[in-house]
Amino acid sequence: MNDLTTPTVLIVDDEPMNRMALAELLSGECRLLLAKDGASALQRVADEPDISLILLDVSMPGMGGYEVLRRLRADARTADIGVIFVTGHTDERDEERGLLLGAQDYVSKPIRPAIVKARVRNYLKLAMQRRELERLSQQDSLTGIANRRHFDEELARACRHARRSQESLSLAMIDVDHFKQYNDHYGHGAGDDALRRIAHTLAGVARRPYDLVARYGGEEFVLLLPGVADVEAVLEQARREVMQLGIAHQMSTTASVLTVSCGGIVADAGRLPKTKESLLNRADEVLYRAKREGRNRVLTERF
């Protein structure tokens, strides 16, 4: 994955000299990708999820710049990518058309290096600030992992993907055992530190790019594992590693250290409930069975 501190810019132009001139001008400013026409530009965007800005030639054979922009804006996954048109046309109606389609700016040919650099820098600065704000809005402020809002969005996306791809979907609810007693005895500062350590441990279990661990609220966490059929093994690893943290808990009636109870479900392909709330409720039911049966354990259910 691209380093998120280095923005990626895609240069699209059917003339090799134009592509190379822009690439040479912007080298050192950002990570650069090149495409020779509209079709290859769209393929680049599909392959590279971290593109921040596209410098897009308006007039190209086949698929022109306006059509590329229209397709980008029509797809939710690419609708927010910035586009600056590079064009030899100076007609106000052409410029208006591009701006109405959602272009951020225009650069006229022949390009003026100082102007191009300034406009690219200004846009990338705003894009990075927006990305940081988005990241913070998706992050739990205490633990640093995903928050409930981000989890809800990813769960909805994972459900849609599972229905399309006919893959299984695993989901787990994880609760810290006797956490109120821990807070009452050791204090809320110690409780916050314990939650941070447990969150870090759970994040280490969710290693794949599409796995997600989030703080769901209080001392409860959720784990999303698209395409994973053996959720029990993952949860058992999580339960064991949390216990191995050795966070002393003198007030626990389960163990002498902090432990977690885990309830997991696996929805087989084609058997997903109609709503993500149904999935969560089912996982929650399995979690409470684990707690009723003595805590510090893993229970799973497949359907």
Interatomic CA distance for residues 258 and 182, integer angstroms = 8
Instruction: Using DSSP, state whether 209 is helix, strand or coil.
Output: coil
Helices 148-165 and 276-292 cross at an angle (nearest 10°) of 110
Instruction: State the Cα–Cα distance between residues 116 and 18, nearest whole angstrom.
Output: 13
CA distance 39 to 136: 34
Told to judge if 236 belongs to the known catalytic residues of this protein, a careful annotator would answer: no
Token representation of residue 235? 């949860």
pLDDT value, residue 1? 40
The confidence score (pLDDT) of residue 272 equals 78
Q: How far apart are CA 303 and CA 296, in angstroms?
A: 24
CB-based burial label for 222 (10 Å; 0-12, 13-18, 19+)? buried
Closest by CA position to 265, among listed 240, 230, 215, 236: 230
Is the separation of the CB atoms in 214 and 148 below 8 Å? Answer: yes
Measure CA 264 to chain center: 22
Which residues contact residue 2 at a Cβ distance below 8 angstroms, ignoring those fewer than 6 apart? 8, 31, 48, 50
Query: Beta 105-108 vs 82-87: how paired, if at all?
Result: parallel
Distance CA 145, CA 174 (A): 14
- pLDDT given for residue 70 in this prediction: 93
Q: Say how far apart CA 245 and CA 290 lie, in whole Å.
A: 21
Kindly give the confidence (pLDDT) of every residue in the chain, 303 residues in length, as a single tens digit, with 9 standing for 90 and above: 444 568 999 999 999 999 999 999 999 889 999 999 999 999 999 888 789 999 999 989 999 999 999 999 998 788 889 999 998 876 777 778 888 888 888 888 888 899 899 999 999 988 888 887 877 788 999 999 999 999 998 998 888 888 888 888 899 999 999 999 999 999 999 999 999 999 999 999 988 878 999 999 999 999 999 888 789 999 999 999 999 999 999 999 999 999 999 999 998 877 777 788 888 999 999 999 999 999 999 999 998
158: β partners: none
**Percent helix, strand and coil across the chain, each rounded to 5?**
45, 20, 30
Q: Which of 92, 219, 236, 293 is catalytic?
A: 219
Residue 34, both tokens = 């090149």
Distance CA 98, CA 203 (A): 43
What single-letter amino acid sits at 124? L
254 phi and psi angles, rounded to 5 deg: -100, -45
Q: List alpha helices for 4-143, DSSP H.
A: 16-26, 38-47, 65-74, 92-101, 113-137
What is the DSSP pairing of strand 220-226 with strand 169-176?
Answer: antiparallel
Q: What strand order describes the sheet that includes 31-35?
A: 31-35, 8-12, 51-57, 82-87, 105-108
Strands 8-12, 212-217: parallel, antiparallel or unpaired by DSSP? unpaired
How far is Cα 279 from Cα 265, in angstroms, rounded to an integer?
8
The span from the CA of 268 to the CA of 95, in Å, is 51
